[in-house]
Amino acid sequence: MVAANNRPTRLSAHWVPVFVVRLAIFLSVMAASCRCHADRRPADTDLGRSEQDGRDADFIESAGGSVSVSQRPLGFPSHLRLTSDVTAHGELIENLVPFSKVMAEQDSTAELFSNDHSSSDFSEANISKPGPDLGDYPNSAFTLPQGRIYFESATFSYQTGNEYGPAMYTSPFLLRYGLTDDVELRLMGNGLTSVNEPEHSILGFSPLILDTKIHLWDEQMDRMIPAASLEVYIQTNLGSKSLLSGVQPSLNLNLDFPLTEKTNVQMTFGYTGVQQVETVNQFSYQWAMGYQLTSLLQVFIQGYYYAPIGSEVGASKAMGGGYFYQLSTRTMLFNSYNAAIDGTSAPFSTQLGFAYAF
């Protein structure tokens, strides 16, 4: 999917020292509180709020009694203050502001137990972050957060035939799993496939493809450096015998150029070992430019040279356009229409499908 600035925010790494510091503060306050109870004496003098004790005045409020300076915790932040009430008998009662309340008031970027890999809570899957890879030709430079699962299906994919190739129906699918925030395991294929050749038709299941994608770095557009990921896959011989084409390895570089908050350009450069009479190393290129019309609707134009990733359409060139529409937080619909730009490719192709985030 051509997502403009929809990358997942990485988990902040500085929560550990923040937790240690806050725990030390909490234990110090408790220790100071215990000392105050052990050493307190009857109140006989109102110290007031003198300049000398100004830094402690936020922590102790005296009413009809007193607490000596040596008994008071010094230099504590105002949000860890001790509020004090003195009874008629001079007994000091201290109440510590709840530590959980203190934590809640801190900068949200320093939350202790944040699992936020995107702009929303990790417990709530969001199909738009980072977005589907099916739907347009290139693949995104971004990977799923750790533990997240996407299922994507271009349920209806059809291309017309000509003298150079038959009409074909396929149902591509992609199952993605976030092994870590930067490593994604993937299983994909063209699914149920029907090839309508003039003399006979072929119906079967296209070979499975074992795939992995590794996020390399985020974009630095001030230096014109795009976000990038490396995708490596191997097409297996696990499928219907009539549709097998041998074991084929492939290496791909996925790039994202977020030009503005609403406009993004994606490119995928691929190199595949295609088995024909002999193994041929074939270069491929896919591109797409997307624009976010509304919070739910994104439109794009796209094209490819040779073939989309994992496709079996053969050597061809095409251009087209389509859209992504977010039906819910977890579900997205996509649709595209494409035409050949040379004399040998399928004259027309279309794709309709969905993606769901678990």
- pLDDT band, very low/low/confident/very high, at 204 (cuts 50, 70, 90): very high
Residue 12 has pLDDT above 60, yes or no: no
- pLDDT band, very low/low/confident/very high, at 203 (cuts 50, 70, 90): very high
323 versus 43: which is more confidently predicted?
323
Give the per-residue SS3 of the chain. CCCCCCCCCCCCCCHHHHHHHHHHHHHHHHHHHHHHHHHCCCCCCCCCCCCCCHHHCCCCCCCCCCCCHHHCCCCCCHHHCEEEEECCCCCEEEEECCHHHHHHCCCHHHCCCCCCCCCCCCCCCCCCCCCCCCCCCCCCCCCCCCCCEEEEEEEEEEECCECCECEEEECCEEEEEECCCCEEEEEEECCEEEEECCCCEEEEECCCEEEEEEEEECCEHHHCECEEEEEEEEECCCCCHHHCCCCEEEEEEEEEEECCCCEEEEEEEEEEEEECCCEEEEEEEEEEEEEECCCCEEEEEEEEEECCCCCCCCCEEEEEEEEEEECCCCEEEEEEEEEECCCCCCCEEEEEEEEEEC
The whole-number average pLDDT for the span 193-198 is 89
Residue 107 has pLDDT above 50, yes or no: no
Highest mean pLDDT among 63-77, 78-92, 166-180: 166-180
Burial class (CB in 10 A: 0-12, 13-18, 19+), 92: buried
Out of 32-41, 102-111, 316-325, which region has the weakest mean confidence (pLDDT)?
102-111
The whole-number average pLDDT for the span 56-81 is 42
The whole-number average pLDDT for the span 155-181 is 94
Residue 185 has pLDDT above 50, yes or no: yes
Residue 238 has pLDDT above 90, yes or no: yes
- pLDDT band, very low/low/confident/very high, at 178 (cuts 50, 70, 90): very high
Out of 4-18, 115-129, 180-194, which region has the weakest mean confidence (pLDDT)?
4-18
299 versus 77: which is more confidently predicted?
299
Highest mean pLDDT among 27-36, 65-74, 101-110: 27-36
The whole-number average pLDDT for the span 90-110 is 41
The whole-number average pLDDT for the span 314-326 is 90
- pLDDT band, very low/low/confident/very high, at 249 (cuts 50, 70, 90): very high
Highest mean pLDDT among 28-37, 38-47, 268-277: 268-277
Calculate the average pLDDT of the chain: 76
Residue 134 has pLDDT above 70, yes or no: yes
Out of 99-103, 227-231, 330-334, which region has the weakest mean confidence (pLDDT)?
99-103
194 versus 13: which is more confidently predicted?
194
Q: What is the pLDDT of residues 269-286, one digit of tens each?
A: 999 887 765 667 889 999
- Please, what are the domains in the chain? 15-104 (no CATH), 149-357 (2.40.160.40)
Q: Could you tell me if 109 and 103 are in contact, meaning their C-beta atoms sit under 8 angstroms apart?
A: no
Residue 34 has pLDDT above 90, yes or no: no
Q: What is the pLDDT of residues 216-225, one digit of tens each?
A: 999 999 999 9
Backbone angles phi, psi at 45, to 5 degrees: -140, 135
- pLDDT band, very low/low/confident/very high, at 122 (cuts 50, 70, 90): low
- pLDDT band, very low/low/confident/very high, at 313 (cuts 50, 70, 90): low
Query: Which residues does 48 contact at the CB level (< 8 Å), separation at least 6?
Result: none
The whole-number average pLDDT for the span 20-28 is 55
Q: What is the pLDDT of residue 169?
A: 96
Bin 64: left if φ > 0, else alpha if -120 < ψ < 50, else beta. Answer: left
pTM score of the predicted model = 0.67
Q: What is the pLDDT of residue 344?
A: 84
The whole-number average pLDDT for the span 260-275 is 91
278 versus 131: which is more confidently predicted?
131
